[in-house]
């Protein structure tokens, strides 16, 4: 195990995220957040960095581009004991990201709203969040990923019990849950489009 040094928090559901952030900060973890989560943490007096400050690129295209940046995904996907990966990260001055808490916009609730259009539903389809989930889950050997706020309590317990680290077995289980989460998300969108008349061109 290795101690968590840097975390990304990007949560539509803010339940428990302040408490999670407080525990991470108590172990000196640098917090990087998207706008809504950043506002929640700063209102609670917790020090955190805007993801735009981390990447050096402002949010653009009406919010479609926030976390889709090589600095984010290199930090998540890099193999920490691979000499080439280490050299490439150092060459670009990129940093490892050790922890991710992400949950997505509840698109099923939006799709059930009366009169909502296909375009409106698809516009709310999460791209950057799901990409971070998949990158972090793929690299579970080095990255802790949580998509369910109900898991925060057990994760905080492990962090406290292991001096800022999360055991491998839990990282593996969380990755499994994350892939199941994105699979359900994608299957809903695919099913929604199958059952919906296409919009006018």
Quote the CA–CA distance of 194 and 190 in Å, as a whole number.
Answer: 6
Which of 131, 142, 133, 78 lies closest to 101 in space, CA to CA?
A: 133
* Residuewise pLDDT in 10s, the chain (201 residues): 679 999 999 999 999 999 999 999 999 999 999 989 999 999 999 999 999 999 988 777 776 777 779 999 999 999 999 999 999 999 999 999 999 999 998 888 888 888 888 888 888 888 889 999 999 999 999 999 999 999 999 999 999 999 999 999 999 999 999 999 999 999 998 998 888 877 777
What pLDDT score does 196 carry? 80
Return all residues near 37 (Cβ < 8 A) that are at least 6 apart: 9, 10, 11, 14, 17, 48
User: Are the C-beta atoms of residues 144 and 174 closer than 8 Å to each other?
Assistant: yes
What pLDDT score does 1 carry? 61
What pLDDT score does 65 carry? 75
What pLDDT score does 28 carry? 96
Quote the CA–CA distance of 37 and 24 in Å, as a whole number.
Answer: 15
Cβ count within 10 A of residue 62: 7
What pLDDT score does 178 carry? 97
Quote the CA–CA distance of 127 and 66 in Å, as a whole number.
Answer: 10
Return all residues near 171 (Cβ < 8 A) that are at least 6 apart: 140, 141, 143, 144, 145
Domains of the chain: 6-194 (3.40.50.1380)
What pLDDT score does 57 carry? 80
What pLDDT score does 40 carry? 96
């Amino acid at each position: 195990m290795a101690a968590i040094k840097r975390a990304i928090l990007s949560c539509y559901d803010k339940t428990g995220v302040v408490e999670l952030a407080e525990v991470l900060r108590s172990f000196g973890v640098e917090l990087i957040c998207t706008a809504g989560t950043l506002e929640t943490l700063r209102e609670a007096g917790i020090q955190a960095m805007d993801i735009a400050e981390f990447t050096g690129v402002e949010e653009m295209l009406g919010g479609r581009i926030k976390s889709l940046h090589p600095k984010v995904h290199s930090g998540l996907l890099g193999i920490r004991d691979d000499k080439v990966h280490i050299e490439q990260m150092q060459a670009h001055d990129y940093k490892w990201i050790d922890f991710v808490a992400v949950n997505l916009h509840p698109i099923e609730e939006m799709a059930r709203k009366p009169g909502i259009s296909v375009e409106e539903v698809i516009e709310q389809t999460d791209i950057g969040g799901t990409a971070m989930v998949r990158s972090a889950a793929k690299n579970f050997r080095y990255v802790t990923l949580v998509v369910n706020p109900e898991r925060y309590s057990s994760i905080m317990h492990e962090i406290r019990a292991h001096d800022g680290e999360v055991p491998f077995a839990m990282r593996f289980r969380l990755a499994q849950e994350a892939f199941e989460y994105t699979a359900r998300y994608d299957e809903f969108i695919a099913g929604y489009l199958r059952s919906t008349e296409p919009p006018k061109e």
